[in-house]
Amino acid sequence: MSLLKAIKFSVLDLAPVPQGGSATDAFQRGVELARLAERLGYTRYWVAEHHSMPGIASSATAVVIGHIAGATSTIRVGSGGVMLPNHAPLIIAEQFGTLEAMYPGRIDLGIGRAPGTDQATVRALRRDPMRGADSFPQDLQELIAWFEAASPGQAVLAVPGAGLNVPVYLLGSSDFSARLAAALGLPFGFASHFAPDYLQHALMLYRENFRPSAQLESPYVMVGVNVFAAESDDEGYRLSTSLQQQFLSLVRGRPGKLPAPVDSMQDIATPAEQSHIDRMMRCTASGSNGRVKRQLETLAEATQADEFIITGQIFDQTARLRSYEIAADVMRS
């Protein structure tokens, strides 16, 4: 039996804004993808917090989650993730408590430690980047506590939020997040779709140091993976060049909207830049059904993941939907 049949599969939507398009387009495309994912049996649909990035529209993450949850009926919807250093824990608890009250039993809260932006934008968010990093473990425990049943006479309450026990997932790309997720007994998601360097080391630390909690009895690993599935290997590669160009823009310090695909990156990126892009995209499956299946099976064997969080920064919406259709077929085959 294929290793993939035992793995849950979900969507990470970075709400890409294509060149020539708008945030409105990104949100409309997201609803279409979420409805398709629900029909195809994807477990959850997550969106991620980023700021001051023209190509990613999900800065108001809780609002986007509500939009997606309202357009679907059964799929779990959540954050992959909300960046805790940007917010007071009580504010997040109130936002996700509200979402859970609106859509009972369907809301996930994935939490990240990075700010999801540059330092100038962090200052514009009125947050202290140094304090946010230093106080992250305490802030995370405070956030979890806001979802617990209120104590008699408790002066401050998360309303809605208290007593709802919204499931919390810790996301990261380092050993720090792995150790903290293990210590708190939380599910751990690794951001290998763009930062795969410490994937294996982090998963080892998480599993070796895991302590059971009220939320989770044993380790639960989620692995981010880029998927560009198409009718041919060449077309799968071509679809991937939109993300490659977007990474190139970040490397050059000029983030922009998601560009149209190209036949080759050879005349666009220098060899050094391409090497950096290739390293960022090591956890990527691209090509036809058979090739994508082999690549995902290799990743499954290497990570023993419980769940793949699949993302696809694909310029054309029809091709994007088709990629997720093929990915679902591969995961079930």
Distances (CA, A) of 276 to 103, 250, 273, 281: 41, 11, 5, 9
Check residue 41 and give its pLDDT. 98
Work out the average pLDDT over 228-246: 98
Split at pLDDT 50, 70, 90, the class of 172 is: very high
Tokens found for residue 312: 């696809």
Split at pLDDT 50, 70, 90, the class of 208 is: very high
Work out the average pLDDT over 224-236: 98
Q: What digits encode the pLDDT tens for the residues 147-159?
A: 999 999 899 999 9
Check residue 119 and give its pLDDT. 72
Work out the average pLDDT over 189-193: 97
Split at pLDDT 50, 70, 90, the class of 120 is: confident
What residue segments make up the domains of the chain, in order of their start?
3-232+284-332
Check residue 129 and give its pLDDT. 57
Check residue 116 and give its pLDDT. 54
Q: What digits encode the pLDDT tens for the residues 30-54?
A: 999 999 999 999 999 999 999 988 9
Q: Is the pLDDT of residue 27 over 60?
A: yes
d(CA 328, CA 9) in angstroms, rounded, equals: 8
* Region label for 134, one of left (φ > 0), alpha (ψ between -120 and 50) or beta (otherwise): alpha
The CB density around residue 183, as the number of other CB atoms within 10 Å, is 15
Check residue 217 and give its pLDDT. 97
The percentage of the chain sitting over the pLDDT mark of 90, rounded to a whole number, equals 90
Split at pLDDT 50, 70, 90, the class of 124 is: confident
Q: Is the pLDDT of residue 1 over 80?
A: no
pTM, full prediction: 0.95
Work out the average pLDDT over 159-174: 95
Check residue 235 and give its pLDDT. 98
Dihedral sign, Cα of residue 190, residue 194, residue 195, residue 200? positive
Split at pLDDT 50, 70, 90, the class of 133 is: low
CB 22 within 8 A of CB 258: no
- Three-state DSSP state, 143: helix
- The closest alpha carbon to 243, from 171, 298, 194, 189, belongs to 194
- The closest alpha carbon to 44, from 230, 224, 241, 285, belongs to 224
- The closest alpha carbon to 247, from 271, 269, 263, 267, belongs to 269
Residue 170 sits at the vertex; the CA angle it makes with 248 and 122, to the nearest 5 degrees, is 55
For all residues of the chain together, what is the average pLDDT? Answer: 94
HSE-up (13 A, CA, CB side) for residue 270: 5
Across 5-9, 131-135, 172-176, 228-232, least confident range = 131-135
- Domain 3-232+284-332 is classified in which CATH homologous superfamily? Luciferase-like domain (3.20.20.30)
